[in-house]
Amino acid sequence: MTGAEQSHPLDLESPRFSIEKPAARYDKQGERADAQRLAAASRAFARDFGRAAAAYMESCIHCGNCAEACHFYLATGDPKYTPIWKLEPFKQAYKREAGPFAWIYRVLNLKRAVTVAELEEWQELLYDSCTMCGRCTQICPMGIDIASLVGLARHAMFEAGLVPHELWAVAERAEREGSPLGATPKVLKERLEWLADDYEVDIPVDRPEAEVLATFSSIEIMKYPASLVATARVLNRSGYAWTVSTAGYEATNFGMLSGNLAWQRDMSMKLIEAAIACKAKLLVLPECGHAYTALRWQGANMLGRPLPFRVLHISEFLAEALAAGRIALRRLEKSVVFHDPCQVSRRGGATAAPREALAALGVELRETRDAGGRSFCCGGGGGVVTIHRADELRYGAFRIKMAQIDASGAELAVTSCSNCRQSFDDGRAHFGWERQMGSLLELVAEQLAD
């Protein structure tokens, strides 16, 4: 039986809120021979051997600094979790097939040909133990973008049909239904109607023209609906003509996380086409880290030309609206610790925006020892939170973040990524931790001044 034939009901009450643990794992997709899987992986490796990747492959000096930056290595002390080692099959294929001395590597067999067995072994390293958080990239003295290379290596893994069971399932469902968690257009409309009625807030849907297109993540739609209400309240107060589009609203992009470029493009194009259709000048992304990477930094690549509208993470929108006087906030006499989502802060560069919003709230910000671009990942990014066999490893990494949050002594903990909130909720349930991770957006919406 393949992953596509397996049933995957959702556990709506779980703090993880993901696909249930499969009764039997199917970490191979399809019924292909090993030779066919290897050929597909080799084609994908070759496609991604561009100049940047080649420069990175040739630059590693094996210093080991990236290990000390990785939360999975620090949690275990196991050298196999050294970030650059996770790329060994990709590097092996490059050295043997595309590097400047490839013929020497082949003739002397200095680098053996990659095998399916190796790819199967490396599946855990490329998916279970890498959130693509970029902390290793930041610390590399040679400037190697290890996180991006992991993303490229995942392309080959998907082409070979070697994606972890649960991650493949949510990516396939997103491609088939438009949402990884069943938040179809019908479900979205029903949920927005209910929220508009219960919270007495105007939530415009499918306006033919709007200045701003608001998007959501499925985890917000299904588990954190207060974020949808908060988005509406902030946008209504800001004075923009805005809308939600049932043709393009799902900002999560499991195509990117799983390694399927075609699915990544399909998911991005729904948002892009929806924004173009309503003539939006601005597309606002939700509190979702990888959604920011997928559209803000890779969206133009999917379209094939510059995007004809601006893209802002919701925290950036809040900072701009506050600076322009479009919204004002009541002071909040609390101490707050902020968790920086890796893809928004370190990888995306939007580190100042949430702090500007917190400053406008007048809170006492208590930074963790490693904050901003140096912040440790929650441990669940990159699709890791969906993979049940990675739980023990992920919980070990989560201890680092948990200890730093506790050390801050802050009254409130907030972040600007709903997927991080999901990881914190799951870690909280697992450890019996008393901390609750809240939403920056929801906090701001609660403090909107009249």
pLDDT tens per residue, the chain (450 residues)? 333 333 333 444 555 555 678 888 899 999 999 999 989 988 888 888 888 888 888 888 999 999 999 999 999 999 999 999 998 888 888 877 777 887 787 878 777 788 899 999 999 999 999 999 999 999 999 999 999 999 999 999 999 999 999 999 999 999 999 999 999 999 999 999 999 999 999 999 999 999 999 999 999 999 999 999 999 999 999 999 999 999 999 999 999 999 999 999 999 999 999 999 999 999 999 999 999 999 999 999 999 999 999 999 999 999 999 999 999 999 999 999 999 999 999 999 999 999 999 999 999 999 999 999 999 999 999 999 999 999 999 999 999 999 999 999 999 999 999 999 999 999 999 999 999 999 999 999 999 998
Residue 14: per-residue pLDDT: 56
**Residue 438 phi, psi (nearest 5):** -105, 180
Residue 11: per-residue pLDDT: 47
For residue 127, which of 197, 243, 25, 1 has the smallest C-alpha distance? 25
Structural domains of the chain, ranges and CATH numbers in brackets: 29-163 (1.10.1060), 174-322 (1.20.1050), 328-446 (3.40.50.1860)
For residue 293, which of 259, 342, 245, 365 has the smallest C-alpha distance? 342
Residue 8: per-residue pLDDT: 33
Distance set, CA 36 to CA 43, 104, 351 (Å): 11, 26, 44
Q: Which two tokens stand for residue 234?
A: 């902030």
Residue 18: per-residue pLDDT: 54
Q: Which residues of 165-198 are buried (b: 16+ CB within 10 A; e: fewer)?
A: bbbbbbbbbbbeebbbbbbbbebbeebbeebbee
Residue 195: per-residue pLDDT: 96
Residue 19: per-residue pLDDT: 64
Residue 43: per-residue pLDDT: 86
228, HSE (Cβ side, Cα atoms, 13 Å): 33
Regarding pTM above 0.85, the answer is: yes
Residue 423: per-residue pLDDT: 94
